[in-house]
Amino acid sequence: MKNIPRRRFDCLVIGAGGGGLRAALQLAQGEAHVAVVSKVFPTRSHTVAAQGGINAALGNTQPDNWHFHMYDTVKGSDYLGDQDAIEYMCRAAANLVIELEHYGVPFSRLENGRIYQRAFGGQSLNYGAEQAMRTCPAADRTGHAMLHALYQQNLKARTHFFDEFFVVDLLMDKDGYALGAIVIEIETGEPLIIEAKTTLVATGGVARLYRTTTNAMINTGDGMAMALRAGIPLQDMEFVQFHPTGIAGIGILITEAARGEGGYLINAEGERFMERYAPHAKDLASRDVVSRSIYEEVHAGRGCGPKKDHVLLKLDHLGAETINKRLPGIRESAIRFAHADPVEKPIPVYPTAHYTMGGIPTNRFGQVVAPVHTGPEEAVPGLYAVGECACVSVHGANRLGGNSLLDIIVFGRAAGNHMLEYLKENRSHRPMAEAAVDRAMARLTRWDKQGEGESVDKLCDELRLTMEDYCGVFRKQDLLDEGIKKVTKLVERLQHATLRDHSRIFNTARIEALELENLMDIALATVHSAAARHESRGAHSRLDYPKRDDRNWLKHTLYSREGNKLDYKPVRMKPLTVEPFPPKERVY
């Protein structure tokens, strides 16, 4: 494979969402020669869809501080979050949100000109006392505003972009160093090797694993699957967040900000049922709690509509002015997709797959960490990961709304800084590992196979339905075991699937085939990790093990692709400077 063209950079950033772009900016400003690769035009990355806002204890409407935010995040994570990383994130939040403002993010404003802050789920003052107003929005299009500002800053800093290039696999040498990646240009279908002294994976989440999802078509977990294939285990993949309010039947997101601004859920009897499940926080309880409550209402026969299969989100009492000012995008989505104008009538909603808490294990510098020959964990030299594809882990078993936009900014910046340090000590490119290039190319050429075989689309639909039915909001051993069998069969069937169109030019079917391979790897990671965890914690709800079990399960899962092996590692309970928050019962 000597004739594949090659390009060389100091740093390769895979992914142009908020995580990748924040890191790239740090690198470009630090005088590194940085390439960003994205399979879609950068401002189409899923970050653009983020609605509700980004958390920071700015205290613009009430006295707030980062330690309250830290408490909420640790509690929200159901104590599975690493407290050193959580402290780091919550402390950094205020400065980095102000920095975003200076980069040009048009945040919503209070009368006095300061950044407006809204209520969001799981956020409190004084360690669980009153509801906090901590989430900083740009109306209900926060991610859009952030991503565009970060893209423009990168253009100014002269980051080099490879737009609409698809990364097939990471390239690693036999000593475990990251050397870059092999990519294909989607327009021409031609491969290219991008060599780099250090590589960052920022490929986003994988909620496309489920049929009903808020996620963009592109969220297929490519980076996580690349890590698995490179021998790096994935952490805590059983924890999948279901957002309580997707438009029923479609899954499109209605932001938590709708409840933050005063909206609430009702069942077929018109009852405000969250008062029963979370008497204190009600509709602003943590997402896992609200999703399960909706599910239980529907399964108890109190669902709405002819099929009694959803509940209603009521907003009309807020009035047209507030809805138009604070939730304009939501109003548009509801009218277009649910045929319900929230100014006049409630929106039909049901839980929808939303966010991946697990991912590539990293420390708080963004370095990927993996066990070395089953020994203790060490940093993988030159390899970094941030954002939704990574597990640092600040979200533990359940992410709080508004904490992901924060996570990508905080750890994007931290990873950029650490990569600059790494470059000081690793000044030259290492020799390319030709064996790794051949392996990656074999993945590509496998799809050139002619002849009859199943279609990729059909297998993809089956996979997403299987995950919904066997590894959804509520889980049970027999269902999960059956889920493992079903996914394993689908993986086998995929090996015999073929493409009908083998052309190179803008062949999106070829890209979708590679994406489905990635989804299959992640599906296996998710069901295996879920079947083994015999407790309920955060988003992982087991009907057969309804309680959290700290004695046996206060630990992170590590799933390896080879042999579907599971290992565990302790949660880092010790913060950087403050006292730990010890586990206690989680009530809202």
Ligand X SMILES: Cc1cc2nc3c(=O)[nH]c(=O)nc-3n(C[C@H](O)[C@H](O)[C@H](O)COP(=O)(O)OP(=O)(O)OC[C@H]3O[C@@H](n4cnc5c(N)ncnc54)[C@H](O)[C@@H]3O)c2cc1C
CB nearer to ligand X: pick between 247 and 405? 405
Closest approach of ligand X to the CB of residue 43, in Å: 9
Q: Which of 94, 95, 52, 68 is nearest to 258 (CA)?
A: 52
Q: Which of 272, 402, 247, 439 is nearest to 336 (CA)?
A: 247
Closest approach of ligand X to the CB of residue 256, in Å: 7
Q: How far apart are the first and last CA of the chain?
A: 58
CB nearer to ligand X: pick between 287 and 542? 287
* Catalytically annotated residue among 44, 211, 259, 287: 287
For β-strands 178-185 and 240-247, DSSP reports them as unpaired
Tracing tokens 């407790």 back to the chain, one arrives at: 535
274-282 contacts, C-beta under 8 A, 24 or more apart: 278/587, 278/588, 280/587, 280/588, 281/121, 281/122, 281/124, 281/131, 281/588
Where do contacts with ligand X occur on this chain (CB under 6 A)? 14-20, 37-40, 45-47, 49-54, 142-143, 166-167, 202-205, 214-215, 218-219, 222-223, 253, 255, 355, 387-389, 401-405, 408
Closest approach of ligand X to the CB of residue 53, in Å: 5
The string of DSSP letters for 534-575 reads -S-BTTBEESSS-S--HHHH-EEEEEETGGGEEEEEE-----
CB nearer to ligand X: pick between 223 and 416? 223
Three-state DSSP string of 223-255: HHHHHHHCCCCEECCCCEEEEEEEECCCCCECC
Closest approach of ligand X to the CB of residue 424, in Å: 26
Three-state DSSP string of 146-174: HHHHHHHHHHHCCCEEEECEEEEEEEECC
CB nearer to ligand X: pick between 480 and 494? 494
Note the residue count of the chain. Answer: 588
Closest approach of ligand X to the CB of residue 354, in Å: 6
CB nearer to ligand X: pick between 167 and 304? 167
Q: Say which residues have a Cβ less than 8 Å from residue 477's Cβ, sequence separation at least 6.
A: 531, 542, 544
Closest approach of ligand X to the CB of residue 428, in Å: 26
118 annotated active-site: no
CB nearer to ligand X: pick between 259 and 486? 259
Tracing tokens 């613009």 back to the chain, one arrives at: 60
Closest approach of ligand X to the CB of residue 60, in Å: 18
Residues 476-505 as b or e (16 or more Cβ within 10 Å = b): eeebbebbbebbbebbebbeebbbeeeeee
CB nearer to ligand X: pick between 28 and 50? 50
Tracing tokens 């000109």 back to the chain, one arrives at: 113
Which residues have a catalytic role annotated? 287
